């Protein structure tokens, strides 16, 4: 009979009627009813199983039907030998048999829960053999075999690297950054060099096909870790300080991206020293399209609030002198101070940070603008720039200059770059040019005569003028004194009283140069004689006597 008819017949029986042993088994679908005896040896092969199904009086039960716990003459016992060659077979005493492969793959043989979530309670070998032949079980076995054939992805992607090795790798990258060496292109060669010295760092971090830990992405992650750790330590010191100030300025990197450099100046809470620390480089236009006072102030305010810095302890804000920074009505400093006051409304004592234009930057601007109304000084600075570019852009010209210096017995030095944005650079450039001027003029003459270079001829004509020599020596008396004051202003632990006294003394010295010749200008005659001895003809303007 079919399973449905069997269940209806079973449900129609009165509860007092006892079922006969084995009556709870149902025949397979589309098969006739027949009796089966449990006496004698059980069929162990498919052939014997088929013969038993035709010869026995009862049909072979399927693997999906429950084994009744009713009292029988002989109880079914699980044979441990059935597990040979069947790693998927699992027997739970008191419950039944499960298929671990079907459980892992979540397979339901013949869309039933038996062997997966529900146990097979018919403890028979033929039940096991029938399950082995079903499509769901065969598919789960294939999946298990494919999974075993695949490598351990976790071990391939996340291999083990020792803590000591990673510490050395971080130290190498930190060294490159501190020495201002390009880390992206020099990190791996540095590991190779350390390996040459005996410590195979590169081999230790090459632990898998997908784990080299020397790629650009890995280097950026290393830098992010170093930055986070250093910034965390600095912020802890900053929060413990009772007075701190912020200094920031925007700049453009080589990829033409606007970035803002943020630094902090504070009094150390333990030793009382004044510390100046770098905090962060922030992409100014990451979320904005215009770099105005609102954008700059919002970036600084966001950094203060994100890191829980106290507005009450903010005593100063240092910037450059641009209107977008120091504007009285709508500058970035003004906006930050307004935010500071609004954040302290609930406190009894409120303070307002002092906006300060960087003193060293202001001195550099004053030095540049002092000679702008003198046309010859402006032309003099342009000639310095052209002279540097002439030799710096050609290795042949630089080599010719060094050869001329050896021939004349001059110091073997290069022409320095005069930059308006690099403080002290013009003062250093004029001091260097004074030492090597004879060799520079002779080298320019050679370039003009032998190679017909018009730029060299024009520079040589200008440098051979008497007025140029006078201006050069005058600037050698003035600019080094200004550089001394600039270095004091740039000192991280500057003493205000000492700086003020030094400023007054340097102003007095500069005023005295109006009436008294400086040390270098006094040696003008000997300087001219030195150039003439090198074969250089000094050109005088009309109205100037050669003996003046």
**At a CB cut-off of 8 Å and minimum separation 6, what does 76 contact?**
67, 122, 123, 124
Residue 246 parent element (H or E) = strand 244-252
The pLDDT of residue 50 is 45
Phi, psi of 315 (to 5 degrees): -105, -20
**Residue 244: phi, psi to the nearest 5?**
-150, 160
pLDDT > 70: percent of the chain: 80
Q: Tell me the pairing of strands 96-99 and 89-92.
A: antiparallel
Sign of CA dihedral 107, 109, 115, 118: positive
Angstrom distance (rounded) from CA 240 to CA 286: 31
10 Å Cβ neighbour count for 20?
A: 9
Least confident of 173-182, 206-215, 298-307, 318-327: 206-215
pLDDT over 80 (residue 44)? no
> Alpha helices, DSSP H only, in 86-245?
100-105, 125-133, 135-149, 153-157, 163-178, 183-196, 201-205, 216-240
pLDDT attached to residue 3: 52
CB atoms < 10 A from the CB of 510, how many?
15
Chain segment 391-412, per-residue pLDDT in tens? 999 999 999 999 999 998 888 9
pLDDT interval class at 209 (50, 70, 90) = low
Instruction: Please state, in angstroms and rounded to a whole number, the distance separating the CA atoms of residues 308 and 302.
Output: 10
Whether the model clears a pTM of 0.75, i.e. scores above it, the answer is no
Residue whose C-alpha is closest to residue 478's, from 325, 367, 363 = 367
User: Contact, 377 vs 471, CB < 8 A?
Assistant: yes
Strands 274-283 and 258-267, by their bridges, are: antiparallel
What pLDDT does residue 7 have? 53
pLDDT tens readout for residues 496-506: 888 888 889 98
Residue 341 has a pLDDT of: 85
| Cβ atoms within 10 Å, residue 520 | 19
Could you tell me which residue, 106 or 234, shows the higher pLDDT? 234
Q: What is the domain partition of the chain in residue ranges?
A: 3-149, 157-214, 233-357, 364-533
Listed residue (70, 83, 62, 46) closest to 6, CA to CA: 62
Three-class SS state of 85: coil
Q: Give me the mean pLDDT over the 448-476 stretch.
A: 92
Question: 33 or 308, which is more confident?
Answer: 308
Closest to 302 measured CA to CA, from 348, 232, 228, 246: 246
Mean pLDDT lowest for which of 36-45, 433-442, 476-485? Answer: 36-45
Tokens of 506: 């340097």
The domain 233-357: what is its CATH number? Answer: 3.30.420
Residue 423 contacts residue 486 (beta carbons within 8 Å): yes
d(CA 64, CA 118): 10
Strands 354-357 and 314-319: parallel
Backbone angles phi and psi of 91, in degrees to 5 = -115, 125
Q: pLDDT exceeding 90 applies to what percent of the chain?
A: 28
Residues 476/468, Cβ–Cβ less than 8 Å = no
Report the candidate in 474, 476, 469, 391 with the shortest Cα–Cα distance to residue 431: 476
User: Tell me, what DSSP letter sits at residue 369?
Assistant: H
Find the angle CA(472)-CA(475)-CA(476) to the nearest 5 degrees: 85
SS3 sequence of 84-123: CCCCCEEEECCCEEEEHHHHHHCCCHHHCCECCCECECCC
Nearest to 325 by CA among 350, 288, 300, 360: 300
Mean pLDDT of 487-502: 84
- 412 CB neighbour count, 10 Å cutoff: 13
Average pLDDT over residues 25-29: 37
Per residue in 56-92, pLDDT (tens digit) is 444 444 444 444 443 444 557 888 888 888 888 888 8
Cβ within 8 Å of residue 511, ≥6 positions away: none
What pLDDT does 15 receive? 46
Residue corresponding to tokens 């991280």: 492
- Asked whether 478 and 424 are in contact (CB, 8 A), the reply is no
């Amino acid at each position: 009979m079919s399973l449905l008819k069997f269940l209806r017949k079973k449900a129609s029986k009165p509860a007092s009627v006892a079922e006969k042993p084995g009556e709870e088994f149902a025949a397979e679908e589309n098969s006739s009813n027949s009796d089966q005896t449990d006496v004698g040896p059980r069929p162990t092969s498919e052939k014997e199983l088929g013969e038993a199904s035709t010869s026995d009086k009862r049909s072979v039960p399927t693997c999906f039907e429950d084994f009744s716990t009713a009292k029988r003459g002989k109880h079914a016992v699980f044979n441990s030998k059935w597990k040979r060659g069947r790693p998927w077979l699992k027997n739970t005493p008191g419950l039944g048999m499960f298929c671990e492969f079907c459980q892992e793959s979540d397979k339901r043989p013949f869309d039933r829960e038996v062997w997966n979530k529900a146990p097979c309670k018919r403890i028979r070998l033929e039940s096991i053999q029938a399950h082995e032949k079903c499509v769901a079980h065969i598919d789960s076995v294939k999946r298990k075999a494919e999974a075993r054939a695949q490598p351990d992805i976790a071990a391939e992607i996340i291999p083990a690297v020792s803590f000591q090795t990673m510490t050395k790798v971080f130290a190498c990258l930190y060294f490159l950054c501190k020495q201002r060496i390009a880390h992206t292109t020099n990190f791996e060669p540095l590991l190779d060099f350390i390996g040459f010295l005996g410590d195979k760092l590169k081999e230790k971090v090459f632990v898998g096909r997908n784990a080299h830990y020397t790629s650009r992405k890995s280097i950026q992650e290393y830098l992010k870790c170093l930055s986070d750790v250093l910034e965390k330590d600095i912020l802890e010191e900053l929060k413990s300080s009772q007075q701190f100030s912020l200094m920031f300025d925007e700049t453009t990197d080589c990829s033409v991206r606007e970035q803002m450099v943020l630094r902090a100046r504070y009094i150390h809470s333990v030793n009382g020293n004044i510390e100046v620390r770098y905090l962060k480089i922030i992409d100014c236009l990451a979320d904005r399209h215009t770099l105005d006072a609102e954008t700059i102030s919002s970036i600084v305010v966001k950094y203060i609030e994100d890191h829980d810095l106290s507005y009450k302890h903010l005593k100063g804000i240092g910037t450059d002198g641009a209107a977008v920074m120091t504007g009285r009505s709508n500058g970035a400093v003004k906006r930050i101070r307004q935010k500071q006051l609004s954040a302290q409304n609930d406190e009894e004592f409120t303070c307002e940070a002092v906006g300060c234009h960087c003193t060293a930057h202001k001195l550099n601007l004053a030095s540049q603008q002092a000679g702008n109304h003198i046309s010859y000084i402006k032309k003099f600075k342009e000639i310095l720039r052209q002279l540097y570019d002439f030799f710096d852009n050609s290795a042949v010209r630089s080599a010719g200059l060094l050869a001329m210096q050896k021939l004349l017995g001059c110091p073997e030095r290069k022409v320095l770059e005069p930059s308006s944005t690099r403080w002290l650079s013009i003062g250093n450039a004029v001091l260097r040019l004074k030492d090597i001027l004879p060799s520079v003029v002779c080298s320019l003459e050679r370039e003009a005569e032998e190679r017909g270079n018009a730029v060299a001829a024009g520079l040589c004509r200008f440098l051979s003028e008497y007025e140029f020599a006078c201006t050069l020596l005058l600037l050698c008396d003035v600019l080094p004194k200004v550089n001394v004051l600039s270095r004091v202003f740039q000192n991280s632990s500057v003493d205000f009283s000492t700086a003020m006294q030094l400023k007054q003394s340097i102003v007095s010295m500069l005023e005295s140069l109006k009436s008294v010749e400086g040390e270098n200008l006094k040696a003008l005659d000997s300087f001219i004689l030195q150039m003439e001895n090198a074969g250089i003809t000094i050109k005088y303007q009309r109205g100037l006597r050669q003996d003046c």
